[in-house]
Amino acid sequence: MPNSIYIHIPFCKTHCPYCNFTVKLDHTGKLFKPYIQALCQEINNRTLNQDNNLIDTLYLGGGTPSILPIELLQELFETLYSVFKFSSGAEITIECNPGTADEHKLKDFKKLGINRLSIGVQTFDDQLLQKLARGHNVKQAKDIILNAKKQGFNNISLDLIYGLPNQTIQSWTESIKQALELPIQHISCYGLTIEENTPFAKIYTNSQNPLLPPEESLEKMYSILQDLCSENGFEQYEVSNFAQKGFESKHNLNYWKNTDFWGFGVSAHEFVNGKRKANTQNLEDYIKNPLNNQELLETNPALEDFMLPLRTSLGLNLKDYEIKYKINLLAGKDDLIRDLLKQNLIKLENNYLKITPKGFLLSTEIIGRLMP
Ligand code: SF4
């Protein structure tokens, strides 16, 4: 049984024009309570008569989980603590957006046992934040981080996005520098992708759009990020993630190791006993019937066990892979391996195949070329 739990909270203050997640704007909050009740029902029922493992990581993602009133989070945690036993050093993360958690709420998060915050800052440029319609400004972003520190949080991550419309190299560099001056231990950085059926898809119809930074700028932004993080003691441990030593996200590391995890809530995915499943994406349907609405997804363990570890700096254990799948990943690829090694895009170390920091920028292409 899994040692990790993911819980999806679908509510947000605004719907950011680039986001294609299952998100519900509920300014009155009238769906909050029914949703938490449905979630608790799902957790209770699906874990009934199970021999549950000790939980090492719990991740509340969304959406914006920090939007929920503390009483409802309490209700959810009471259910979780009654169903699962948590290990003493369990990592318990909540995603927060600036402007949704003041000092009191942050203090209450601590009381619930939450010990890690993942804060959606995205950029420290007010003009860009306005274009992203995030509903917060730079001051609010800094306030939540400083308040969290004041309340005793010492495991704080923030999200940044590069490749935003009108974003310059200078603005990006400034954002990273400002992030690194704050009391944080972890940074996740993603390049903007223009997702179908989003307002951004209508505006920025193709990647040649002059408002979007060109490919060369994106490469430059990524390498500036790598350099500044490394100079400031943030090690790159995955394509998009950087952390001070000991502050790597245990929850995400479990995903990349392709280990089991529970998933509860609307649109939540899970991987339990070798089966990958997804809950319905329809919030009303989920609230009405939080049970028996899971869909079985296809899995390809050999492919997942190949692709996921290669995203991390630890890399892929070739020997273990060969024992498990009877596939020698390097066989017949001499020229390709030599070429990638020569370009310093991969390295081979003690039976591990690793993509180098230089290679991370091209990780999708490299993984594609090395595919079994
Ligand atoms: S806050 Fe996050 S989840 Fe909510 S709409 Fe914006 S990007 Fe999507």
Asked whether residue 50 carries a pLDDT value surpassing 90, the answer given is: no
Determine whether the shortest distance from the Cβ of 218 to ligand 1 is under 6 A: no
Determine whether the shortest distance from the Cβ of 62 to ligand 1 is under 6 A: yes
Mean pLDDT throughout 79-88? 96
Segment 181-204, tens digit of pLDDT: 999 999 999 999 988 889 898 888
Alpha-carbon distances of 21 from 66, 103, 158, rounded to whole Å = 16, 28, 19
pLDDT at 208 (0 to 100): 59
Asked whether residue 51 carries a pLDDT value surpassing 90, the answer given is: no
pLDDT at 301 (0 to 100): 93
CA nearest ligand 1 atom 6, residue: 16
pLDDT at 149 (0 to 100): 98
> What number does the ligand 1 atom closest to the CA of 19 have?
8
Q: pLDDT band for 368, please (50, 70, 90 cuts).
A: very high
Domain 4-256, classified CATH 3.20.20.70, yes or no? yes
CA nearest ligand 1 atom 2, residue: 63
Q: pLDDT band for 22, please (50, 70, 90 cuts).
A: confident
To test the pocket of ligand 1, the residue of 19, 26, 129, 266 to mutate (highest count of ligand atoms within 8 Å of its CB) is 19
Asked whether residue 206 carries a pLDDT value surpassing 70, the answer given is: no
To test the pocket of ligand 1, the residue of 11, 18, 64 to mutate (highest count of ligand atoms within 8 Å of its CB) is 64
- Residue 193 Cα to ligand 1 midpoint, Å, equals 14
Residue with tokens 């993630």: 241
Segment 52-63, tens digit of pLDDT: 789 999 999 999
CA nearest ligand 1 atom 8, residue: 19
Domain ranges of the chain: 4-256, 301-370
Residue type, position 69, single letter: P
Segment 120-131, tens digit of pLDDT: 999 999 999 999
Segment 327-336, tens digit of pLDDT: 999 999 999 9
Residue type, position 125, single letter: D
To test the pocket of ligand 1, the residue of 18, 23, 121, 130 to mutate (highest count of ligand atoms within 8 Å of its CB) is 23
Q: pLDDT band for 41, please (50, 70, 90 cuts).
A: very high
- Residue 19 Cα to ligand 1 midpoint, Å, equals 6
Mean pLDDT throughout 68-82? 97
Lowest pLDDT segment from 10-19, 48-57, 99-108: 48-57
Q: pLDDT band for 207, please (50, 70, 90 cuts).
A: low
Specify the pTM. Answer: 0.95
Asked whether residue 27 carries a pLDDT value surpassing 90, the answer given is: no
Q: pLDDT band for 293, please (50, 70, 90 cuts).
A: confident
pLDDT at 292 (0 to 100): 77
What are the backbone angles phi and psi of residue 305, rounded to the nearest 5°? Answer: -70, -20
**What's the start-to-end Cα distance of the chain, in Å?**
29
Determine whether the shortest distance from the Cβ of 120 to ligand 1 is under 6 A: yes
Segment 169-184, tens digit of pLDDT: 999 999 999 999 999 9
Determine whether the shortest distance from the Cβ of 352 to ligand 1 is under 6 A: no
Asked whether residue 277 carries a pLDDT value surpassing 80, the answer given is: yes
Three-state secondary structure call for residue 96: strand
User: Are 151 and 103 within 8 A, CB to CB?
Assistant: yes
**Bond before 63 cis per omega within 30 degrees:** yes
CA nearest ligand 1 atom 5, residue: 15
What average pLDDT is seen over the chain?
95
Please give the share of the chain, as a percent, with pLDDT higher than 70: 99
Lowest pLDDT segment from 13-27, 143-157, 255-269, 309-323: 13-27
pLDDT at 300 (0 to 100): 93
Structure tokens at 262: 């529970």
The residue length of the chain stands at 372
Domain 301-370, classified CATH 1.10.10.920, yes or no? yes
Q: pLDDT band for 226, please (50, 70, 90 cuts).
A: very high
pLDDT at 211 (0 to 100): 83
Whose CA is closest to 192, among 230, 237, 234, 240? 240
Instruction: Give the separation between CA 136 and CA 104, rounded to whole angstroms.
Output: 19
Computed on alpha carbons and rounded to an integer, the radius of gyration of the chain in Å comes to 21
